[in-house]
Structure 1
Amino acid sequence: MSEIAYVNGNYAPIAEARVSILDRGFLFADGVYEVAAVIGGRLIDNGAHLARLERSLRELRIDSPLPMARIADVEAEIVARNGMDEGLVYLQITRGAAADRDFGFPADVAPSLVAFAQKKNITGSPAAETGVKVLTVPDLRWARRDIKSTALLAQVLAKQAAVEGGCQEAWMVDQDGFVTEGSSSTAFILTETNVLITRPNSTAILPGCTRNAVQLIAKRQGLDVEERRFSVAEACAAKEAFLTSASNLVLPVVSIDGRRIGDGAPGDTSRLLRRLYIEWATNAAGAG
């Protein structure tokens, strides 16, 4: 079966999918995106992702080419046409393609919407058993990190630094020495007194959909959850650490900058929250 993509109203094999070279997403990163997980052939927590998409569009003053309910239909159709049981659906909306390359917003240009699927073993990821290693890097991104913009060069450089350092993820650090978030994930630590810590939402970080769901699950388990900044030193001294994202769910972090976290193996709380999230995601509560 050919991989099928969606481009502005049409479904086509991904090798034939095309957008204009004048599209402002290509020229200016003038667009936003979302990534939703698919488990058991169903989109997970997709209502939260579409709400965040709508907010990102509003912040950049880009009109949605379709109502959110129709975008959800496109995502579901992409899942069906690709025969996907587990993986990710990526969608992107840009301001569109104007006749000329100019920085100002063009008039009378239709926004562009593309979507495609990527098969991935999410629930059975080997990294859930081994844990992942994290490298810290300076946070070089623009000031509006709460918008899920397609401008991801700083994250690309951070991820590459992690790879070259023998790690699987980078945690970005602000000028005051506090962790903001991962290059493609939210950062959590668990203190020795069993308090779960993550940075509060602001323009400094992306409001993570998986982050929010995991916090709710943790609170239902009786865990104290505190939203505050934490330093790299505090993270390295934590009882446990883990990351959350739509593409990885919950993954334990076993080392930061070469320093072992806890006993250097996935912790009990990280494992529990991953299991409970998957249970939540695979029943009616997580489908969206």
Structure 2
Amino acid sequence: MRTVYVNGEYVPENEAKISVFDRGFLMADAIYEVAAVLDGKLTDFPAHIKRLHRSAGELGMRVDVSDDELLEIHRELIRLNGVDQGMVYLQMTRGATDRDFVFDTDALTPSLVLFTQKKELIDTGVARNGMKVITVEDKRWGRCDIKTTQLLYPSLAKMEAKKAGADDAWLVRDGEITEGSSNNAYIVTKDGAIVTRPLSNSILPGITRATLIAYAEETGTRIEERVFTVKEAHEAAEAFITSASVFVGPVVSIDGVQLSDGKPGPVTTRLRELYIAESRKRLL
């Protein structure tokens, strides 16, 4: 049984409790972060905390715990649960109060919950074989750049993909790919350029995305931050996703159109190896 963190206490998961009046439960008035664990240590942790503060700031939500305290909570959960590879999930809500659409942030005490998941991150089926995606209409709210717990539509999109025999869904607005249901989306053009949508309110500013782009640019890889269409995706040489839980995941089929002979392509494979190698140098 896992040990989880709830509002200042480390407790067995079956004893963890949070108020039924918490606005995270009632209104999805909550933000979250997911930090990957490699070799028992955290990847990209400072960037995750920076994004947590950004999300809180965009929603006018207080963060009452220091960055150093958050690091120690993460590390303690990794130790208590014996996590060598996996994830640490952090969820913060505005707090608990009687149900109302209006709120007084200053009068509320934010709720803070963290838990771990053990998961193989290196030797995975996606890394070996790639994944299949379908495209679906992007029906999310207009502030996808804030990492909130409003994840119902992404969950429905992923279920639609599963019903279609695919692994995930890429979301589409006006014929252009925004991102995956829980990841950033990329294509590799026939001339070797890596294309991904530029940051805006339409996509999450992925931590793995930013780190990978920085690593790739150091090697002289051409990155094009621009919109791309479903048609361009179907005609791409390769495609892939990035996320904290997958790192770099090859996409070998989009809407049934096979890419890179149905196998992880060389550019994607090299980027995945680069990300893992460089990340291991910067673990906390």
Write the distance in 1 (CA, Å) between the matches of 2:70 and 2:102.
27
Write the distance in 2 (CA, Å) between the matches of 1:13 and 1:124.
30
Partner of 1:269: 267
- 1:28-84 Cα offsets, whole Å, 9 max, x none, are 000100001000000100111110001000000110120122111111111111111
Would you say 1:104 and 2:105 are equivalent positions? Answer: no
Write the distance in 2 (CA, Å) between the matches of 1:217 and 1:49.
17
Letter paired with 1:44: T
Write the distance in 1 (CA, Å) between the matches of 2:67 and 2:218.
30
Write the distance in 2 (CA, Å) between the matches of 1:51 and 1:246.
15
Aligned partner (choices 253, 256, 262) of residue 255 of structure 1: 253
Write the distance in 1 (CA, Å) between the matches of 2:126 and 2:79.
28
Normalised to the residue count of structure 2, the TM-score between the two structures is 0.98
Alpha carbons 1:65, 1:113 under 8 Å: kept: no
Write the distance in 2 (CA, Å) between the matches of 1:269 and 1:123.
17
Write the distance in 2 (CA, Å) between the matches of 1:122 and 1:261.
23
Gapped regions of structure 2 (runs ≥ 5): none
Partner of 1:20: 19
After TM superposition, give the deviation of residue 262 of structure 1 in Å. Answer: 2.5
Partner of 1:49: 48
Gapped regions of structure 1 (runs ≥ 5): none
Quote the RMSD (CA, aligned, Å).
Answer: 0.9
After TM superposition, give the deviation of residue 237 of structure 1 in Å. Answer: 0.3
Q: Could you tell which deviates more after superposition, 215-224 or 58-67?
A: 215-224
Partner of 1:40: 39
- 1:109-142 Cα offsets, whole Å, 9 max, x none, are 1000000000000111121010000011100000
- 1:74-108 Cα offsets, whole Å, 9 max, x none, are 1111111111101000000000111x100111351
Write the distance in 2 (CA, Å) between the matches of 1:277 and 1:203.
26
Partner of 1:130: 129
Would you say 1:155 and 2:154 are equivalent positions? Answer: yes
Would you say 1:224 and 2:222 are equivalent positions? Answer: yes
Percentage of matched positions with identical amino acids: 48
Normalised to the residue count of structure 1, the TM-score between the two structures is 0.97
Write the distance in 2 (CA, Å) between the matches of 1:280 and 1:163.
33
Alpha carbons 1:132, 1:253 under 8 Å: kept: yes
SS in structure 2 opposite 1:263?
Answer: helix
Q: How does 1:1-288 map to 2 (within 5 A)?
A: 2-98=1-97, 100-106=98-104, 108-174=107-173, 176-283=174-281, 285=282, 287-288=283-284
Write the distance in 2 (CA, Å) between the matches of 1:79 and 1:91.
13
After TM superposition, give the deviation of residue 157 of structure 1 in Å. Answer: 0.7
SS in structure 2 opposite 1:33?
Answer: strand
Alpha carbons 1:65, 1:112 under 8 Å: kept: no
Deviating above 2 A after TM superposition, structure 1's stretches of 4 or more consecutive aligned residues are none
Write the distance in 2 (CA, Å) between the matches of 1:68 and 1:158.
34
Write the distance in 2 (CA, Å) between the matches of 1:166 and 1:15.
34
Write the distance in 2 (CA, Å) between the matches of 1:46 and 1:125.
23
Write the distance in 2 (CA, Å) between the matches of 1:116 and 1:254.
32
